A and B are shown apart, each in its own frame.
Chain A
Amino acid sequence: MVETNDGTPPPGRVLLIEDEPNIATAISFLLGREGWRVSTHSDGATALDAVARHTPDVVVLDVMLPGRSGFDVLGGIRAGTGDVRADLPVLMLTAKGQTKDRERAAALGATRFMTKPFSNQELVAAVADLARGPV
């Protein structure tokens, strides 16, 4: 495991829910390099089970998922479905230009957004911010 860049305590677990394998690879590499333990999950239908099983500190959630949309998964998390922590920080990945998606995710309680294509540094910084919790 790589050491963190600054002196902050070591990061925790990230669950990446994303069906595009090559994005998952890139994000896993980026976060793993910062010391995060990254698990990936690619199916919307079983995503909530995965959240309950992995008990991550941060969830990175794509909007477009097979089986069940990212919105539904987010709604499930916020409803505390199946012993999931309802206040879990969620970074939502939406497509650029889809303002409606963004508004919908905000209404459902996404903690933060990132539009695809994203900048690697911003993504890493956003996950670190979320793990620190509300300021």
Chain B
Amino acid sequence: MPRSIPTGRRIRERRLSLGLKQAALATTVGISPSYLNLIEHNRRAIGGALLTRLAEALGSDRAALAEGGDSALIEAVQAAGAAGGVAEGPLADAATLAQQHPAWARLIEAQAEAMAAQARTIEALSDRLSHDPTLAEAMHELLSTVSVVRSTASILAQTPEIDANWRGRFHANLDADSRRLADGVEAVMELFDGRATDGGERLLPSEVVSRFLDDAGHRFPALEELGTSAIAPLVAGLADPQARALAADILRGDAEDAARLPREVVEAASGPDDLIAAAGGDLALVLRRLGTVDPGRGLVVCDAAGALLRRKPVAGFALPVMGAGCPLWPIFGALARPGHPISTVIETPDGAVWRVHAVAQAAVPTGFRDVPVLRATMLLTRADGTGDAMPVGPGCRVCPRPACAARREPSILTGGVALDMAPVTEDT
């Protein structure tokens, strides 16, 4: 895996190669030279509009400056190559390919994504055969009707001396049931036909929504200003009604969060601790607000099963597009101690260090007999590269760490790491 170069250093290198003074560049983009200095030394996270302005001032592409911009593309190409059986030698050319032929590299990435989406569709379809109530009902109807037809027809065939009344009755039943059979077959065919044509992009509603959120950077200024009345126009562009409903749900949560903890308050804070009082002690609200308002921070929300409900990536911290994350992420540890806030430092495989705030909270149950629903929230903030940081990864499939006791499946990056990792030692 290529070691990613932090955004700050890229900006500095680009500025120096253009022979620009720090002060001059700072004036152009409207920030103080000292702030630019902090950015260049990776001491301030950067994203959003400022990164765009800097890219313009440096005559560069925003994606080329953003850390993880091209390294994400390189990883995607490598992953696609590894999955397609490309040998280790040529696999190393992925970096060159992504840098010199970015359009082709993006095509490879898009095709790999499309293949993964199709694999999931196939899985979902085979699942439907056993779990789809509509299909199960249609099949049951067919089977019952076939049973009647078979039983009745064989009575008629094997009982030539049958009484005329019975014969009349059985003939009538056969007539009715053969018609039912024809209708039933038609219904089943329609069921499959409908499914084949409404496949569209073959994305699950959750994938459509996560793409929708990512495209907006998880930031919806309209929600901050207009509240829930802004939701309908925001999600109107989503064609799939299920995806639209899911997105509206998420935005409703965001709008409620925004009403409880306004953007000005969040922007004035230097960290989560500053917001606890304003949030009325709701720690998860603090993390969600910082995560959505500040483009320089990442946000992950999961449920008690570890399923990732929300993943807002931040440059440099790769979040898996689908599937589970790294079991070593503090968010999962938070689930074990609901209500206990966690503040810790982690290190990604590329050596970047992150401050993590996490907390698991139960939604207030509506009654004493209800089971509280637990959700954990994790905020990711770039930190200085010092101290004891806990090594974590982006999720096993794309994690290069060879010896990890928590590994659950081989990585596609390291050419098939065996699962016989070092035994987990017990504390004595």
A positions within 8 Å CB-CB of B: 20, 22-23, 25-27, 29-30, 33, 64, 95-96, 116-120
B residues in contact with A118, CB < 8 Å: 147, 150-151
Enumerate B74-101 residues with CB–CB distance to A below 8 Å.
none
Most A CB contacts (10 A, CB to CB) among B151, B158, B170, B176 go to: B151
On whether the beta carbons of A26 and B143 are closer than 8 Å, the reply is no
Q: Which of A27, A30, A64 sits near B140, CB closer than 8 Å?
A: A64
State in angstroms the CA–CA spacing of A120 and B147 once bound together. Answer: 10
On whether the beta carbons of A119 and B154 are closer than 8 Å, the reply is yes
Closest to B159 in A: A33
On whether the beta carbons of A23 and B147 are closer than 8 Å, the reply is yes
Main secondary structure of the interface of B (DSSP, over half): helix
Interface 1/0 per residue, B318-361 and A, CB below 8 Å? 00000000000000000000000000000000000000000000
A-B contacts besides A25-B170, A30-B151, A117-B146, 14 pairs, CB < 8 Å: A20-B147, A22-B173, A23-B148, A26-B152, A29-B155, A29-B170, A33-B159, A64-B140, A64-B144, A95-B143, A116-B144, A116-B147, A117-B147, A118-B151
Task: List the 5 closest A-B pairs by CB distance, nearest first.
Answer: A116-B147, A117-B147, A26-B151, A117-B150, A22-B148
* Chain B: number of interface residues, binned into ranges: 20 to 34
A residues in contact with B148, CB < 8 Å: 20, 22-23, 26
Enumerate B156-172 residues with CB–CB distance to A below 8 Å.
158-159, 166, 169-170
B365 CB to nearest chain A CB (Å): 30
10 contacts between A and B (CB under 8 A): A25-B169, A26-B151, A30-B155, A64-B144, A95-B140, A116-B143, A117-B147, A117-B151, A118-B147, A120-B154
Whether B254 sits at the interface, judged by CB under 8 Å, is no
Whether B177 sits at the interface, judged by CB under 8 Å, is yes
A36 CB to nearest chain B CB (Å): 15
A residues in contact with B159, CB < 8 Å: 33
State in angstroms the CA–CA spacing of A95 and B173 once bound together. Answer: 21
Q: Which of B140, B143, B154, B176 sits near A22, CB closer than 8 Å?
A: B176
Closest to B139 in A: A95
B168 CB to nearest chain A CB (Å): 12
B206 CB to nearest chain A CB (Å): 28
Interface 1/0 per residue, B120-163 and A, CB below 8 Å? 00000000000000000001100110111111101100110000
State in angstroms the CA–CA spacing of A33 and B154 once bound together. Answer: 14
Enumerate B379-420 residues with CB–CB distance to A below 8 Å.
none
State in angstroms the CA–CA spacing of A25 and B148 once bound together. Answer: 9
A residues in contact with B151, CB < 8 Å: 23, 26-27, 30, 117-118, 120
B residues in contact with A20, CB < 8 Å: 144, 147-148
On whether the beta carbons of A22 and B177 are closer than 8 Å, the reply is yes
Enumerate B161-216 residues with CB–CB distance to A below 8 Å.
166, 169-170, 173, 176-177
A63 CB to nearest chain B CB (Å): 9
Closest to A26 in B: B151
B217 CB to nearest chain A CB (Å): 46
On whether the beta carbons of B166 and A29 are closer than 8 Å, the reply is yes
A38 CB to nearest chain B CB (Å): 14
Q: Which of B146, B147, B173 sits near A25, CB closer than 8 Å?
A: B173
B residues in contact with A120, CB < 8 Å: 151, 154-155, 158
State in angstroms the CA–CA spacing of A25 and B144 once bound together. Answer: 13
A residues in contact with B154, CB < 8 Å: 119-120
State in angstroms the CA–CA spacing of A119 and B158 once bound together. Answer: 12
B residues in contact with A119, CB < 8 Å: 150, 154
Most A CB contacts (10 A, CB to CB) among B143, B166, B170 go to: B143
Closest to A100 in B: B130
State in angstroms the CA–CA spacing of A48 and B194 once bound together. Answer: 41
